[in-house]
Amino acid sequence: MLKVIYDLNEWVEIRKEAIRENKLIGFVPTMGALHLGHRALIERSRRENDIVVVSIFVNPTQFNDANDLKKYPKTYDDDLEMLQECNVDYLIFPNYENMYPDNYHYKIIEDDFSTKLCGASRPGHFDGVLTVVMKLLNIIKPTCAYFGEKDYQQYKLIAGMVKAFFMDVEIVPCKTVRAEGGLALSSRNKLLTKDELKIAPLFNKFLSSNLSIPEIKMELEKNGFKIDYIEEINNRRFGAVFLGKVRLIDNVEI
């Protein structure tokens, strides 16, 4: 039976009992608008742990654009239905005051990889991501936390943070879940129009092709995409594009 927790102190007491019983805790942090990619993370956590915890918190500190935050999709009722179907034990649903009693005066900053790719075009984004994930991991204190490789830069930064601060949690990467045609599943896909959804799979098609970066950019632009970046780092090709008003990201091994 899914239990929704609004008061973080309530979770602290629940976790004390879980520790006494030596139970494994799996954690999937989300911003809601759940899709099959989230479901894959949750189902893996369910297979590997005694207790499954999911959080929903649309974290304002990782948005460098107020309009982007405002239009971020919210599907709470549908999210609850999925969590119940997946036999999630606890949903952590905090508000800003719960998460930021310091009003974001204290933050986690990484000064290398976070300045590249998405970090270059979204100043402060990864400061917000790392800070909120640090807070959530300190609150939940899970055995394992699960992150999708669609946000590969985010996953690597979080794994690096956990290692740098000697945090007692395993960060588990999970393969990107894709729709038919190759489009990486994302909450932002809900903001695409029907016509844009037909075009969107071309992003992955060209990103994973044998074309050069200039050729990929040219093909994407011909098909209506606006390029943020296409770059190759450590045998992986990363891309971010705009389709209409929606920003899409993806990455593939090369």
Both tokens of 57, joined, read 């918190």
Between CA 34 and CA 36 the distance in angstroms is 7
Beta bridge partners of 248: 241
Q: Is 38 a catalytic residue?
A: yes
**Cβ neighbours of residue 115 closer than 8 Å, sequence gap 6 or more:** none
Helix axes 125-140, 8-20, angle to 10 degrees: 50
Count CA atoms within 13 Å of residue 65 on its CB side: 9
Unique residue bearing structure tokens 């040219």: 218
Catalytic site residue from 35, 38, 105, 125: 38
What 3 state SS string does 58-108 have?
Answer: CCHHHCCCHHHHHHCCCCHHHHHHHHHHCCCCEEECCCHHHHCCCCCCCCC
With CA atoms as reference, report the closest residue to 174 among 204, 144, 200.
144
Between CA 131 and CA 161 the distance in angstroms is 10
Give the neighbor-by-neighbor strand order of the sheet with 236-243. Answer: 226-233, 236-243, 246-253
**How many C-beta neighbours within 10 Å does residue 199 have?**
17
Q: Which residues are catalytic?
A: 38
